[in-house]
Structure 1
Amino acid sequence: MLHTTPDKRGTILAAAFEVFISYGFRKTSMDDIARAAGMSRPALYQVFRNKTEIFRAASQSLLVKFGHETRAAFDSDKPFAERLFNSIDQSILSLHRKIDATPHGAELMGVNAEVAGDIEEKWCDMMVDAIAEGVTEAESKGEIALAPLGVDAHRVATIVMQAMEGMKAKYLRGEPIEDDVRHMVNFVAGALAISIRTTSECKSGLG
């Protein structure tokens, strides 16, 4: 699940992520992480001072992973709406599904906000930049038009991420949000596509 390096640090982060998912942050000990990583506790302490430091490093690794997957989702011949949905599905919803399979999702979300809030902010900025790149590419292909709606790619990406933030409360209540995300994506993509037709009709009328 994590984007880790093939070294001791990467082994620890990958193991710790699975332990956090399985037992929650509060109940996880450094001994648990050491065992999962196949090393002694002293060896673990040579790399990380405590589990909070490990949790932050794991969050950072997820940021890197999601950045790659968000951009990769736009590298496709699928329609823009599908590429946009896949960018969100592969980078956000996939993690939600994994967390949903455990009884510790709400706790982990809370801990992340508590000890890795700055990393989450960077993640949101990264997601906006990645989605903006996909929107810009779609405009260059003639799939969508931004100017008629008075927006740029960064504004569209920001709106998408703000909508995702608005769905967080529903997710934390244990309710699925995939359909909501699909509707939001279709609305955004549809509005941008309609603006192309409007522009074309205006040009035809002028002609």
Structure 2
Amino acid sequence: MTSASEYSKTAAILNSAFQAFATYGFRKTSMDDIAKGAGMSRPAVYLHYKNKEAIVRELTQFYYGEKTTLVAEALSGSGTLPQLLERAIQVQSQGMADILASPHGLEMLDATKSMSTDIIQEGEAELTRLYADWLRREDAAGRAHLPVGPDEAAKTITASLKGIKMTASSADEFEQSISQLATLLGAALEVR
């Protein structure tokens, strides 16, 4: 079991790494940069992570763990189908505009994709499962109009979110596209 002190050190390293990657880019960030930002020595950081790639993998794991929890909470709340979907999409997308606004945001996304493909696939599959289970419940309750099955609809939701993230040319475009997607999908799935 991880002690509170170890958890605090790990959190400090991850926060520092994220800030350093956003400021300097993945390639130019050194383990010294990460250690300084975490208030630790470089050897102390190496006791937790063997390299920057291991840190990126941990950041990716943390991201999907947090997003899965937030999406599950949003989908289990109260409200209309469009309101629940909009909340889920918003919490899943929260923070991405800041990454895209960073001068090194695209480099960060590329590094994450190349080093954490397995974690991304597992995380996306879990998010898709959450949306599919939610759509099944909404359909069974007569609150959803599903022109395709819940699994296919869920795949469309997560693929669309991923596509917007990869193609948005700015943070503003990302936020506008996410909002439009939530509105369109919510309207399409709502029983009239």
**1:125–1:156 Cα change, 3 Å:** same
Distance in 1 between the 2:11 and 2:34 partners? 13
What is the alpha-carbon distance in structure 2 between the residues aligned to residue 118 and residue 178 of structure 1? 27
**After the TM superposition, which residues 31-180 of structure 1 pair with which residues of structure 2 at under 5 Å, given as runs?**
31-92=32-93, 94-146=94-146, 149=147, 151-171=148-168, 173-174=169-170, 176-180=173-177
What is the rounded CA distance, in whole Å, between the counterparts of 2:102 and 2:166 in structure 1? 18
- Any gaps of 5 or more consecutive residues in structure 1? 198-207
Q: Separation in 2 of the partners of 1:49 and 1:104?
A: 23
RMSD of aligned alpha carbons: 2.2
**TM-score, normalising length: structure 1:** 0.80
Q: Which residue of 1 aligns with 2:25?
A: 24
Structure number with greater CO (CA < 8 Å, separation at least 6) is: 2
**Given that residues 52 and 115 in structure 1 are in contact (C-alpha distance below 8 angstroms), is that contact kept between their aligned partners in structure 2?**
yes
What whole-Å deviation, never above 9, does each CA across 1:87-121 have from its counterpart, x for those lacking one? 122122x2222213321111111111221122221
- Of the structure 1 ranges 111-120 and 178-187, higher mean CA displacement relative to structure 2 is found in 178-187
Q: Which amino acid aligns with 1:68?
A: T
Instruction: Tell me the alpha carbon deviations over residues 7-51 of structure 1, each in whole angstroms, 9 at most, x when there is no partner.
Output: 432332222222222222111110111111111111111111111
User: What TM-score do you get using the length of structure 2 for normalisation?
Assistant: 0.85
Instruction: Return closer, same or farther for 1:74/1:26 CA change in 2, 3 Å cut-off.
Output: same
Alpha-carbon distance, 1:56 to partner: 1.0
Given residue 133 of structure 2, which amino acid in structure 1 is its aligned partner?
E
Deviation by residue 1:130-184 (Cα, 9 ceiling, x = unmatched): 22232233234432143xx3x332221101122223324431x226133333333
Larger radius of gyration: 1
- Contact residue 85 and residue 181 of structure 1 kept, 8 A: no
Tell me whether 17-26 or 30-39 shows the greater mean CA deviation.
17-26
* Paired-residue identity, %: 28
Q: How many residues align?
A: 187
Task: Confirm or deny: 8 A CA contact 2:72 2:130 kept in the other structure.
Answer: yes
In structure 1, C-alpha distance between the alignment counterparts of 2:41 and 2:49, rounded to whole Å = 13
Mapped to 1, the partners of 2:40 and 2:163 lie a distance apart of 41
Aligned structure 1 segments of 4 or more residues deviating by more than 4 angstroms: none
Write the letter of the residue equivalent to 1:78: G
Query: How far did 1:60 drift?
Result: 0.8
Q: 1:122 to 1:33 in 2, by over 3 A?
A: same
Check 1:181–1:7 CA distance in 2 against 1; reply closer, same or farther (3 A cut): closer
